[in-house]
Amino acid sequence: MAGLLRNVTNAIWHAFNALHQEERGLVNKTKLKVLTANIATVLDLYGLEKGLDHYRSSMNLSFEHFHHYLRQEVFSSLPNSLSMAEMRNFEEKIEEICWLICRRKYAEANHTSLDEKHLYKLFRIFCLVSDFVVPENDPLGTEVLLNSSETVLLIQQIMTAIGLEFENDKRVNHLSQNDLSFRFDQFLDLVDFPDNSNVIEYEESMHEAIDEMYQTYIKDIIKKGFLLRRGYLLPTFKEYWFVLQPCELSYYKNHSEKELCGTIPLDPKFMVKPSINTSGKPDKFLKFVLSSGERSFEFATHDHRTRMQWIAALQLAITYSSGKEGFQRDLISQRRKKREADRKRRKIEEKLRSVHLKEVELAKTQLKQEQLARQAAENQAKQFEELAREDSRRVAELEDLKTTLERLLEEETQAKRDEEIVRALQARVLAEEWEKREELEQLQREQKSMLEQERQKRMEFEQRQKEKENQLAEAQMMLKKLEEERIRLDLELKHARLKIIESEANKEDLEARMDAWQPILKQNSGVRRTLSFVVPSRERPTPMELRSSSFRRKTAQDSN
């Protein structure tokens, strides 16, 4: 099976390289039989190592030939219907066999304080992430190398896990700025951080960091965390520790992952979506449903963000559940393709740059040849220049004379033109001046006329003002006379009122006397006539009569 062989090629190369080589890049068939028999036993195949005796005529094989034999005789016997779990099981066993062969070599080269268990985990991670490199001009010089970008990614994860800052780390900056490759022993030197004073705490942190990376890369764990799961028999939510992989969702009692409570196998038929509350009552938890055609599983979280993260992770796991490659291997493959594309692009740019440099060199050569030819032509031209210099001098004198005459003629012509222009300008200025003068005279005449009209109007206004002043004086005199007359009339009215009061008193006196004489008058009508003649009766004057001047004069005469 080509996919399984491709996944374990890097580990097999390390085992091949760890075997004692008779020559550079060549290993004896006897040693390769042992490695082949172990790999075949893992795959439940037997006797396939015997075919190496008849494979090629030489006793030593290169890795290329050994890899070809494994592909044709060993892995081709496997069925193509292996599941992802079976693939991972085979990969783990084969890589464990390869590690048993090469562990002594790398354990001796290990300068860190890591134990063999965590070295094995780093070995598997390295084999997963590294590239199998075959030089074009040296087929025997095959190597498994880790690119600097992948190295930076792994070192950053380790430093983050053990609490170190990698932003200002010199090694990380150097790896980020340079395109380098590292073998496994060189990678072990890079993950050694000697600046930690607490060795025990440092070892524990390193072990935890490697375990976390091992679960992420090798176990292909997409997400971990606590979730609430509704029971099948009892419809209540219970909290479990869930571990999500592309092909299954496992849950444990706690985060130690020692007591497995159950496993949900995932396939492309599954769907995950948020659960909608239709009861109208507020839910205590935020729910979502993982369902297939046969059964549904209901989960819940305490917050919206956690629910969305789990939904996205489950959708990603369902997407990768149908394939033979895991999630991390697919990401590594994408990064590897991007590096290959960048490498090809750089090669093309280098080729274009080399072609451009060749063109520049060719252009420089042609330019030098042209410069030599030009120098020869200049030397020949100097010889003719000496002969023609005298003639040129004479011609130059004539040209200067001609130029001087033409310049004087042009100056004279220009002077005449300027004179005509000045005259035309003067004539126009004079005409404009006469027009302006006529306009000014017209304005002066109009101004004089307006001043004369203004003077007449002013005289009329002064005349009217004098008349008004005379009329005002007369009115004031008349008002003064009327005021004196009013005062006089008021005095007369006062005297008249006094007289009226006296006459009223006299009248009341007379009426009293008449009342006293009334009995006597009844007896003697003749005497009454006499008394009426002697004392004539008068009517009381009206207010209008009192106000009239004739009545006042009469009253005054009577009083006199």
Total structural domains within the chain: 1
Q: How confident is the model at residue 194 (pLDDT cuts 50, 70, 90)?
A: low
pLDDT the model gives residue 193 = 66
Q: Is 554 inside any structural domain?
A: no
- Please indicate, yes or no, if residue 186 is contained in any of the structural domains: no
Q: Which whole-number Å values give the CA distances from 407 to 394, 398, 399, 437, in the listed order?
A: 20, 14, 12, 44
Distance between first and last Cα of the chain: 169
Sign (positive or negative) of CA dihedral 179, 182, 186, 192 = positive
Query: Is 535 contained in some domain?
Result: no
Asked whether residue 311 is assigned to any structural domain, the reply reads yes
Average pLDDT over residues 264-287: 83
Give residue-wise pLDDT tens across range 446-485. Answer: 999 999 998 999 899 999 899 999 999 998 999 999 999 9
Question: Is position 294 within any domain?
Answer: yes
Q: Does a structural domain hold residue 225?
A: yes
Report the candidate in 60, 93, 87 with the shortest Cα–Cα distance to residue 6. Answer: 87
CATH code at position 264: 2.30.29.30
Residue 354 included in any domain: no
Q: What is the mean pLDDT of residues 209-233?
A: 90
Which pLDDT belongs to residue 349?
Answer: 92
What is the per-residue pLDDT for 550? 55
Is residue 110 pLDDT above 70, yes or no? Answer: no
Residue-level pLDDT at 491: 92
Q: What is the pLDDT of residues 383-423, one digit of tens each?
A: 888 888 888 888 888 888 998 999 999 999 999 999 999 99
What is the domain range of residue 289? 221-325
Question: Which pLDDT score, from 0 to 100, does residue 53 have?
Answer: 85
* Residue 168: per-residue pLDDT: 67
Determine, yes or no, domain membership for 296: yes
Residues for the chain: how many in total? 560
- The DSSP bridge pattern shows strands 260-265 and 248-252 to be antiparallel
Its pTM stands at 0.62
Decide the pairing of beta strands 223-230 and 296-301. antiparallel
Task: Indicate whether 274 pLDDT > 60.
Answer: yes
The DSSP 8-state label assigned to residue 448 in this structure reads H
